[in-house]
């Protein structure tokens, strides 16, 4: 009887450890503790207030406040890929494109070191937007081609709302590039693809409409009627 209790106790401990490890693995690619939480929650869990505030300020256009928080987080942990990404996002919103490009490059390096595909996709997409704004359309095209390769692999294995959403962002930014270097018809095709991926993300449960409306990565879709109809 005593031995059975020992075995039972060990079994419970093993299950608890396994659950903890599963939780850590699931949250490895997201600062808020869940890989599907990325850009998909109105508010992050309260156990990470700094990241939650950074997200809130970045998406609501309070760029200066977001920059200040990101700088504090970077000082606390220079390897925080997501804080670096949000810092770049806020700098981009403040039209500080050279600084944003540099921070996106740093975020990309961290993402590659940490094998975080989601962060790498965002870093490449954001850096491409900065390069497009700076008339480096060739560099932007290279970044987006690379982002598309990673995102397509992620979608082929995961089929999540986030993989679909990231593909929408990539195609939206490709529309901006192709409006410069190809034809308006090619840009329209990219917009159509972006909207299709957004619809699929919604079908898979993506419901952060506020983020989808204000995300800088979807900026090239502004005024495009199929995109605007998503908010009717």
pLDDT tops 60 at residue 5 = no
Query: Would residue 58 count as lying in a domain?
Result: yes
> Are the C-beta atoms of residues 67 and 87 closer than 8 Å to each other?
yes
Same-domain check for residues 109 and 182: no
Same-domain check for residues 168 and 84: no
pLDDT in tens, 144-168: 999 999 999 999 999 999 999 999 9
HSE-CB for 61 with a 13 A CA cutoff: 3
- Segment 169-188 mean pLDDT: 90
Same-domain check for residues 147 and 224: yes
Report the chain's terminal Cα–Cα distance, integer Å. Answer: 65
pLDDT tops 90 at residue 52 = no
Query: Would residue 87 count as lying in a domain?
Result: yes
> Are the C-beta atoms of residues 220 and 175 closer than 8 Å to each other?
yes
Query: Would residue 28 count as lying in a domain?
Result: no
Question: What is the C-alpha to C-alpha distance for residues 42 and 56, in angstroms, rounded to an integer?
Answer: 8
Give the mean pLDDT of the chain.
82
Query: Would residue 160 count as lying in a domain?
Result: yes
Same-domain check for residues 103 and 158: no
Query: Would residue 132 count as lying in a domain?
Result: no
Question: What is the C-alpha to C-alpha distance for residues 149 and 232, in angstroms, rounded to an integer?
Answer: 32
Same-domain check for residues 150 and 196: yes
From 3-7, 111-115, 206-210, the region with the lowest mean pLDDT: 3-7
- Segment 64-69 mean pLDDT: 92
Same-domain check for residues 59 and 100: yes
What pLDDT is stored for residue 79 in this prediction?
A: 92
Query: Would residue 209 count as lying in a domain?
Result: yes
CATH number for the domain harbouring residue 110: 1.25.40.10
Same-domain check for residues 149 and 211: yes
Query: Would residue 92 count as lying in a domain?
Result: yes
Question: What is the C-alpha to C-alpha distance for residues 154 and 165, in angstroms, rounded to an integer?
Answer: 12
Q: Could you tell me the residue range of the domain that residue 81 belongs to? A: 44-115
Same-domain check for residues 61 and 147: no
Question: What is the C-alpha to C-alpha distance for residues 168 and 195, in angstroms, rounded to an integer?
Answer: 7
Structural tokens at position 19: 């659950």
What pLDDT is stored for residue 53 in this prediction?
A: 87
Query: Would residue 146 count as lying in a domain?
Result: yes
What pLDDT is stored for residue 110 in this prediction?
A: 97
DSSP secondary structure string, the chain? Answer: -HHHHHHHHHHHHHHHHHHHHHHHHHTTT-TTS-TTTTT--SS--GGGHHHHHHHHHHHTT-HHHHHHHHHHHHHH-TT-HHHHHHHHHHHHHTT-HHHHHHHHHHHHHHHHHTT-HHHHHHHHHHHHHHHHHTT-HHHHHHHHHHHHHHHHHHHHHH--HHHHHHHHHHHHHHHHHHHHHS-HHHHHHHHHHHHHHHHHHHHTT---HHHHHH-GGGGGGTT-HHHHGGG-
Count of structural domains within the chain: 2
What pLDDT is stored for residue 48 in this prediction?
A: 67
pLDDT tops 50 at residue 113 = yes
What pLDDT is stored for residue 17 in this prediction?
A: 35
Same-domain check for residues 184 and 108: no
Same-domain check for residues 106 and 151: no
Last residue of a domain, one of 115, 131, 156: 115
Same-domain check for residues 231 and 164: yes
Same-domain check for residues 106 and 180: no
């Amino acid at each position: 009887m005593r031995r059975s209790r020992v075995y039972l106790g060990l079994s419970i401990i093993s299950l608890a450890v396994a659950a903890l490890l599963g939780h850590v693995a699931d949250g490895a690619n997201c600062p808020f503790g869940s890989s599907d939480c990325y850009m998909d929650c109105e508010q992050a869990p309260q156990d990470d207030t700094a990241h939650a505030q950074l997200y809130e300020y970045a998406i609501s256009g309070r760029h200066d406040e977001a920059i200040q928080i990101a700088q504090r987080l970077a000082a606390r942990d220079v390897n925080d890929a997501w804080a670096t990404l949000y810092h770049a996002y806020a700098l981009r919103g403040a039209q500080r494109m050279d600084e944003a490009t540099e921070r996106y490059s740093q975020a990309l390096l961290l993402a590659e070191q940490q094998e975080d595909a989601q962060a790498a996709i965002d870093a490449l997409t954001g850096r491409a937007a900065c390069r497009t704004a700076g008339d480096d359309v060739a560099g932007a095209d290279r970044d987006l081609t690379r982002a598309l390769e990673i995102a397509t692999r992620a979608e082929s294995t995961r089929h999540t709302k986030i993989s679909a959403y990231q593909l929408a962002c990539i195609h939206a930014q490709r529309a901006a590039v192709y409006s410069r270097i190809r034809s308006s018809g090619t840009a329209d095709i990219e917009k159509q693809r972006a909207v299709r991926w957004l619809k699929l993300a919604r079908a898979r449960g993506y419901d952060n409409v506020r983020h989808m409306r204000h995300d800088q990565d979807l900026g090239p879709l502004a005024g495009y009627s199929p995109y605007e109809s998503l908010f009717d």
